[in-house]
Structure 1
Amino acid sequence: MRIAVTGSIATDHLTQFPGRFTDQIVPDRLDHVSLSFLVDELHIRRGGVAANIAFGLGQLGLRPLLVGAVGQDFDAYDALLTRHGVDTGAVHRSRTRHTARFQCITDDAGNQIASFYAGAMCEAVTIDIADVARRAGGLDLVLIGADDPDAMLRHTEVSRRGGLAFAADPSQQLARLTGDAIRTLVAGASYLFTNAYESGLLLHKTGWSPADVLARSGTWITTLGEKGVLIRRRGEPDTEISALTVTDPRDPTGVGDGFRAGFLAALGHGMPPARAAQLGCAVAAHVLEAVGAQEYLLDLPALLDRCTAAYGPEARADLAGCLGGTP
């Protein structure tokens, strides 16, 4: 199965201030703030929803096509993704802007001061999914993830017009998108991904009922954190999939993207949505046990064992073909 994953590609620059921001603020001088914090650590993490999902798919053997916009500073990131099985040939490189960057300082009380530089992401609208599909020799699915809003709308319209199956995954951009834009992104989607909060926000902003959503999309997958996953399909009973137990959760960043990677990988091997969600939950657990969205490595036999322990021998028999294990 040839999957194109569109969306943000970014780096996170995370630092720690050994103190409290509030101790550095003079209340009667807030009209002229000029502060600088000497930080102890710098952690640079690779991120962006499209890159996170593609990273997981690559480890699962699908060689996904990453579609997004980056700057001329992308070489090292590009090399790492390529080593992990991601095809970066459709990534657009800006001549003038840097790759999107999240910069954050966290103090000892957990307070944060942050900025997000969209940078090259604003050029994602120039990418033509129809051209990407032609150069790839065809696409089985286009996942349209959080990105420049105009790019998300263009990718959706081009996919719909060209008869390309697509999955809607608006996630963080739901807060910015209008109800009309959300309705455009969802209509005709083979799959819709949300988390629990996003599902409520989507219904609120569109004015739709759950039945209205299902009338316009094939399968609606809602992740529920430690409660697992809810799968809704038009004309069928809801399906609930339990999450895997994680005894040492370390960082929730990118867990949802890991789920999507496992889900789409299983779909690519012909698995039904319920079984695909089980593999998604297993990959998500690995992401949760690491610090950073792309700091985990999948040992496929061990991943298969973990699916077996959580979901039983039938899951092992079905997923063995996806993971290269023994039924």
Structure 2
Amino acid sequence: MSASEPTPTPIGRTVAVRVPATSANLGPGFDTLGLALSVYDELLVTTLDDDRVEIEVTGQGANAVPLDASHLVVRSMAHAFASVGRRMPGVRLQARNVIPHGRGLGSSGAAVVSGLLAAKGLLEIDGAGSGDGGLVIGDEALLRLATELEGHPDNVAPALFGGLTIAWMDETGPQHKKLLVHRGVSPVVFVPESTMSTSVARSLQPLQVPREDAVFNVSRSALLIAALIQSPELLLAATGDRLHQDYRAQAMPETDRLVRTLRAAGFAAVVSGAGPSVLVLADGPGRRLQAAEVAASVTDTPWDALMLAVDFKGGTVKEYAEGST
């Protein structure tokens, strides 16, 4: 093998990946704001000595996701290997999915980020000590690759970096800014049994909106940043929205009903991502318990209340050895 040829990824190496759920939009911040939450998908990826792809999935989506190279995690790994001119090895993927699928909690974004981080970990293990800086996939490249796969950066940015993220596109590609959330912000997510397609939800929105609605959302988005990082008492006012939630309400009547009921009771409730889950940004642990009591009174749809924290770390990858924790 010539010195210019890349060394094959070592066989039998395993990396462990952990990626948080995310909630995008947060009311007014449509396609811009995202929050990482303390629910995690985990996977182990081991390189094989041939081109096989072996997949084992437990938990969410175990009987619904493909078990071949079309699996989103595997496709994301292949995309990362190709981006640095490397051939992806065969892999054994063991996935433990906890993030609900099709509920507006960033499950597809988490899968994309999981695959990219797995590839990053394997490539960096491969290049350890070699001085080959091209094997390292940095944060900017990770966000670019994730956005190429997901189509927009609002979920993948917090999944990668944690915390509250502002994401935007410019002439050089996707960008992000991570912010730390005030410790008084206490999220609770109400998850129904029903699902919602992101593409269907997006199809319900108009191409143009009234000027006053645009101004309303600009003001609330600015206020929301202040509320989340400094002044949680402003969260109810800051989570008002006129750009997307009302238009999607027809497809999610029970979600719309719960959001309106909670907001009428003084809680900062919004549709989580494309829905149908509902996110409440409470200004303290006691307040989210009260929100759960209100949600329990909306009996047409059973809601699973997830009392969560803001994840500040984002996705992680590390080399795994049998028996390690």
TM-score, scaled to structure 2: 0.28
Q: Please identify which structure carries the higher helix content.
A: 1
Higher relative contact order (CA 8 A, sep 6+): 2
TM-score, scaled to structure 1: 0.28
